[in-house]
DNA sequence: CATATTGCATAGCTAAGCTATGTATAGTGG
DNA sequence: CCACTATACATAGCTTAGCTATGCAATATG
């Protein structure tokens, strides 16, 4: 059977919104999804300017300013003055931030595991493959956006 | 290669948080993800009480009261008095709500399509399979929770 | 050097999410 | 039948994510 890409994309977003709610409500985690999302982007990008981090995370710059502020309060990032530009900061994930991110992922996994425990190896592989497909496209979309800025 | 279920589950939530941001920011859609999530749950469950809808959606009852109010303002649901219980309402997705939900999915698809356009048939099938796996587990988690209430 | 542009911060708004609490109806023991 | 408890939804009040508009300081440019 052939699958319609458009339908799949819509379903993907819709279903994962519900999965996120399940994970959030089942875990007692008090931090917001945005915090973890930002940390994950930071981990993947390395030290970046706040503005670029905002664009990569697909949030507005003021929103990122607030998120970075919160992350800073937790001690999960470091703000490094940009040597060549006194206006800019380089935002870098602190080791404690990466540790917190890993702990969060572990917590999510523990909460969801019972529901997904009886997946076959093939099904787990399917999920893993999907994650990689989406991750690759997100990275490509980010790179394309960055290139578009230059043009 | 064998995949670690715990890692996959964490990555699944993390990656999809980013995908959701991409979809939200790239589309000019002003409605919130919660609205669409609620409508999707309503469509799948049929007419249900507000409280049960809240539990199925994994949000608190006051949060659902607000969402239902907003949905009602849009004309996307109907509130039907429960004949057997004057306290309760049966919430039902209106045809216009289903239409709006479909339009939203179409919009998401249009926005994401360029990024995913060159997926192979196999990759699309993998995404579709993942959606089905997650959807089935969500449904099972909901059913289990409902059964647990009775016990 | 004046002016425009850029990078981040601040202000102020809407909406999602929560807990605590209120109000009205159902159910129940006496 | 009446008092009491339990249930279903609404309201109040808070925090945080998200936005746009704007401000301020530093860089770049004519």
Give pLDDT tens digits for B66-81: 999 999 999 999 999 8
Q: Do B127 and A12 contact (CB within 8 A), yes or no? A: yes
Residue-wise pLDDT tens digits, B101-132: 999 999 999 999 999 999 999 999 999 999 99
pLDDT at residue B2 greater than cutoff 70: no
Picking from A17, A36, A112, the nearest residue to B14 by CB comes out as: A36
What is the sign, positive or negative, of the torsion defined by CA atoms of B107, B108, B114, B120? negative
Please tell me whether any atom of strand C lies within 7 Å of the Cβ of A28: no
Cα three-residue angle A48-A138-B114, rounded to 5 degrees: 130
Residue-wise pLDDT tens digits, A115-143: 999 999 999 999 999 999 999 999 999 88
Please tell me whether any atom of strand C lies within 7 Å of the Cβ of B70: yes
Instruction: Name the residue closest to C10, CA to C1'.
Output: A62
Interface check for A103 against chain B (CB to CB < 8 A): the answer is no
């Amino acid at each position: 059977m052939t699958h319609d890409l458009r339908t799949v994309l819509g379903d993907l977003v819709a279903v994962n919104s519900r999965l996120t709610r399940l994970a959030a409500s089942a875990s007692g985690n008090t931090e917001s999804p945005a915090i973890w999302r930002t940390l994950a982007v930071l981990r993947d990008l390395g030290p970046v300017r706040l503005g670029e981090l905002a664009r990569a995370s697909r949030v507005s710059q003021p929103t990122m300013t607030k998120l970075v502020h919160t992350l800073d309060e937790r001690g999960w990032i470091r703000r490094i003055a940009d040597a060549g530009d006194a206006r800019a900061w380089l935002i870098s994930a602190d080791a404690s931030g990466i540790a917190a991110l890993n702990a969060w992922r572990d917590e999510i996994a523990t909460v969801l595991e019972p529901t997904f425990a009886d997946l076959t190896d093939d099904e787990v592989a399917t999920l893993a493959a999907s994650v990689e497909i989406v991750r690759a496209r997100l990275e490509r979309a980010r790179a394309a956006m960055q290139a578009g800025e230059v043009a």
